[in-house]
């Protein structure tokens, strides 16, 4: 059994029924659960989810109301265990952004990795493997690869 952190983009695709990747995201998560893997989220996911879900469509958001976004978040929280925020996450994050020279929006990705490190989680399910490719000691898994592995 492997523990996975779900990247926010996977949660967004699972929640956005109009997304072309909705089924892939949902099936990949379901497949991992059936294989007895554990899937986790963190408060960082929920914050990022809120940003994208409530942002207008014309600026790459979903354009959802606060009420719809809250309802989706409640559903996510009921489906996946949320990792605890620990004091060591900040120092792990600071070390990551310094070591890997991470700048701009990618600092949010580094915080997800810091949470993974704090909880000894090695696998990340993401549609954006390039966002994490230069960070050592994590295994990046694309949802499509989960589905392809079950077809072999």
Block mean pLDDT (10 aa), the chain, length 152: 98 96 97 98 98 97 98 98 97 97 94 98 97 94 94 66
pTM of the model: 0.95
First to last CA, the chain: 20
Residues β-bridged to residue 6: 125
Sorted by where each begins, the domain ranges of the chain are 3-151
CA–CA distance, 111 with 17 (Å, rounded to integer): 27
Beta bridge partners of 10: none
Give the pLDDT confidence of 81-98 residue by residue, as tens digits: 999 999 999 999 999 999
Neighbours of 127 (CB within 10 A): 19
| Cα–Cα distance measured from residue 25 to residue 20, given in angstroms and rounded to the nearest whole number | 10
Widest CA span in the chain: 42
Provide the pLDDT for residue 152. 60
Give the pLDDT of residue 119. Answer: 98
DSSP class of residue 20?
T
Q: Which of 85, 65, 67 is nearest to 75 (CA)?
A: 67
DSSP SS3 for 41: strand
> To the nearest whole percent, how much of the chain has pLDDT over 90?
95
Integer-rounded Cα Rg, in Å, for the chain is 15
- For residue 100, the tally of other CB atoms under 10 A from its CB is 15
Task: Give the C-alpha distances (Å, rounded to integers) separating 53 from 9, 12, 46, 47.
Answer: 11, 8, 10, 10
Domain at 3-151, CATH from 2.60.120.260, 3.40.190.10, 3.40.47.10, 3.40.50.1010: 3.40.50.1010
Q: What is the pLDDT of residue 133?
A: 84
Note the pLDDT of residue 149. Answer: 87
């Amino acid at each position: 059994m492997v523990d996975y952190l779900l990247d926010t983009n996977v949660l967004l695709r699972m929640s956005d029924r109009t997304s072309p990747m909705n089924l892939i995201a949902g099936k990949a998560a379901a497949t991992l659960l059936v294989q007895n893997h554990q899937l986790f989220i963190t408060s960082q996911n929920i914050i990022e989810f809120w940003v994208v879900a409530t942002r207008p469509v014309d600026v790459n958001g979903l354009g959802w109301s606060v009420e719809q976004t809250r309802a989706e978040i409640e559903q996510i929280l009921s489906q996946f265990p949320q990792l605890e925020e620990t004091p060591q996450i900040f120092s792990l994050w600071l070390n990551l952004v310094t070591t890997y020279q991470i700048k701009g929006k990618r600092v949010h990705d580094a915080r997800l990795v810091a949470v993974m490190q704090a909880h000894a989680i090695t696998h990340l399910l993401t549609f954006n493997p390039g966002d994490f490719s230069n960070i050592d000691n994590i295994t990046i898994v694309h949802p499509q690869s989960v589905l392809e592995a079950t077809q072999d």
